[in-house]
Amino acid sequence: MPRASSAAGSPARGPAASDPLAALPGIEAHAHARALLVPVLEGLVRPSHAYLFHGPAGTGKRSIARAFAAALLAQGASDPGEVAARVARGAHPDLTWVTASGATEMLVADIEQPVVAAAARTPFESTRRVFVIEAAHTLNDQAANRMLKTLEEPAAFVHLLLLSDRPDEVMPTIASRCQHVRFDPLPAAVIAERLDGSDAERLLACSRLALGDAGRAAQLATDDGGALRASAEAFVRSSLEGSTSKRPWLGLLELARAAGARAGEDAQRRVEAELELLPAKERRRHEREGAEARRRVERRARTRTLDLALGLCELWLRDMLCVREGALELIHALDRRAQLEQDATACEDPARVREGIELVADARLRLMLNVSEELALEALAYRLEALATKSHAAAAG
């Protein structure tokens, strides 16, 4: 398919989007990102060959990257809406979305064929190819070095969008070759206004519990999120009450496994859509790779769910301390204030609660290192129970 080019040999700016702000939902909350991205969609400036979207988790980097990629691929298309729909389904052949296969780092294999090799091939349908690389700070040294040539000498039709919650950990040689786009954290009140529901106190609590992560706030505000909150609270409260015989971790595991299954089904649908675009000789290999990718996706979804649940446990313990100190304006679970006051009153030793927070934080770290999920939760429950036992013994003595 012929590509429009400027005199310099790079793809032309293309026609302006009919409504650039509407094309990037959520961009209005991020002045820096808006100033850099909207003019591209207005046709006023050419898109950079590489961007680094950085800011706290849940500030919209991922969704805006997808929308920006869709807008770039749709420029010059006869039906921009159809392009956007395919991008949303993960079924556009000129968009590649890369995530790490390793537990803690992105490997050469993650970017060699999907990015480095693919960036040398002309687009299938659009005038551009867009590559989105999540968690760019996890690129290990070898993978980052393989990326350098693509960043230094990109084909005119190539655009890379690197996303990171930790820009200071992105290799300097990578970061220096990107245009930086900053996403600022959103206040809890702003996030709450965007959530669906009529219970204002619950929505504000979800926003506070998400610690500025709008995606997590939206998740917590759903029925599934409510179930996760209830299960996390039951876990920490049962453990502190010495009720581990009830195996309170099983509820968390069940919710995590359900989240993993849903994520795996979504991944399978994407693989099946990609298979339709491949020649027959490549399909078997892609099916094998897709099966491996599905297992990784399922594990990551379970880990994310359990990390969120344990984060809620941490915040419950912190809220108990806030209630004991009379700092009610600092509590996160506003809609559970009565229960928090009851738990705080029953707390005999605040120092043990602080130790509990450290134990939960340690368990979160262990889960990120791919330990057994059930064993990690069971061990945490017994450690919290032991803390409570020590506290009762000290009070009795």
Q: What are the pLDDT digits (tens) for 317-328?
A: 999 999 999 999
**Least confident among 36-50, 120-134, 229-243, 266-280:** 266-280
169 with 271, same domain? no
Residue 75 lies in a domain: yes
Judge whether 164 and 297 are in contact, CB under 8 Å: no
Nearest one of 350, 343, 355, 367 to 233, comparing CA atoms: 343
Do 34 and 169 share a domain, yes or no? yes
Q: Pick from 387, 381, 385, 251: which is nearest to 306 by CA?
A: 251
Domain contains 303: yes
DSSP 288-347: HHHHHHHHHHHHHHHHHHHHHHHHHHHHHHHHHHHHHTT-GGG-S-GGGHHHHHHHHHH-
pLDDT tens, 278-313? Answer: 777 777 777 777 788 888 889 889 999 999 999 999
Residues 111 and 36 in one domain: yes
**Cβ–Cβ contacts within 10 Å for residue 198, how many?**
6
Q: What are the pLDDT digits (tens) for 6-38?
A: 333 345 455 555 677 788 988 988 999 999 999
Domain check: are 264 and 131 in the same one?
no
185, amino acid identity: P
Q: Give the pLDDT confidence score for residue 6 in this predicted structure.
A: 34
pLDDT at 391: 62
Residue 150 scores a pLDDT above 50: yes
Mean pLDDT, the chain, integer? 88
Distance separating alpha carbons of residues 372 and 357, to the nearest angstrom: 21
Per-residue pLDDT tens digits for 154-168: 999 999 999 999 899
Is residue 358 domain-resident?
A: yes
Task: Verify that 82 and 166 share a domain, yes or no.
Answer: yes
Whether the per-residue pLDDT at 45 is higher than 80: the answer is yes
Instruction: Tell me how far apart the alpha carbons of residues 381 and 243 are, in angstroms, rounded to a whole number.
Output: 9
pLDDT at residue number 2: 33
pLDDT bin (cut points 50, 70, 90) of residue 349 is confident
Q: Are residues 163 and 246 in the same domain?
A: no
Q: Quick one: 95 and 145 in the same domain?
A: yes
pLDDT tens digit sequence for 188-198: 998 999 898 88
* 45 in the same domain as 143: yes
Please state whether 43 falls in left (phi above 0), alpha (psi between -120 and 50) or beta: left
Q: Report the pLDDT value the prediction gives residue 249, as an integer from 0 to 100.
A: 96
Interatomic CA distance for residues 181 and 196, integer angstroms: 28
User: What CATH number did the domain enclosing 113 receive?
Assistant: 3.40.50.300
pLDDT at 369 over 90: no
Contact 109, 145 (CB under 8 A): no
pTM above 0.85, yes or no: no
Listed residues 182, 214, 242: the one ending a domain = 182
Final residue belonging to a domain, choices 153, 182, 211 = 182
Residue 4 lies in a domain: no
pLDDT confidence of residue 396: 54
| The pair of three-digit structure tokens given for residue 250, joined into one six-digit string | 């099983």
Pick the last residue of a domain from 132, 155, 182. 182
Percent of the chain residues past pLDDT 90, beyond the cut: 61
Whether 139 and 258 share a structural domain: no
Task: Give a yes or no: residue 210 inside a domain.
Answer: no
208 belongs to a structural domain: no
Among candidate residues 136, 127, 109, 131, the one with its CA nearest the CA of residue 119: 131
Task: Decide if 11 is inside a domain.
Answer: no
Residue 346 pLDDT: 87
* Same domain for 40 and 177: yes
* Same domain, residue pair 73 and 150: yes
pLDDT of 324: 92
> 201-240: b or e for each residue (b if 16 or more CB lie within 10 Å)?
ebbbbbbbbbbbbbbbbbbbbeeebeebbebbbbbbbbbb
> Averaged over 63-88, what is the pLDDT?
91
- Please tell me the least confidently modeled range out of 59-68, 133-142, 190-199, 301-310: 190-199
**Domain extent at residue 254:** 222-396
d(Cα 272, Cα 283) in Å, to the nearest integer?
10
Within 8 A by CB and 6+ apart from 118, the residues are: 96, 129, 131
User: Looking at the predicted structure, is the pLDDT value of residue 397 above 70?
Assistant: no
Q: Is residue 261 part of a domain?
A: yes
Closest CA to 65 of 177, 137, 131, 161: 161
**Alpha carbon distance 217, 104 (integer Å):** 24
Q: Is 91 exposed, middle or buried (0-12, 13-18, 19+ CB in 10 A)?
A: middle
CA 198 to chain centre: 26
Residue 271 burial (C-beta neighbours within 10 Å; 0-12, 13-18, 19+): middle
215-225 mean pLDDT: 92
SS3 111: helix
Q: Is 46 in the same domain as 170?
A: yes
Q: Do the beta carbons of residue 175 and residue 181 sit within 8 Å?
A: no
Secondary structure of the chain: what % helix, strand, coil (to 5)?
A: 65, 5, 30
Count: domains in the chain: 2
Band (149; pLDDT cuts 50, 70, 90): confident
The answer to whether 147 and 117 have CB atoms below 8 angstroms apart is no
Q: Specify the 3-state DSSP secondary structure of 78.
A: coil
CA distance 23 to 102: 33
Q: Please tell me the least confidently modeled range out of 5-19, 173-187, 323-337, 342-356.
A: 5-19
**Helix or strand run (H / E) with residue 383:** helix 373-396
User: Can you read off the two tokens belonging to residue 169?
Assistant: 């950990």
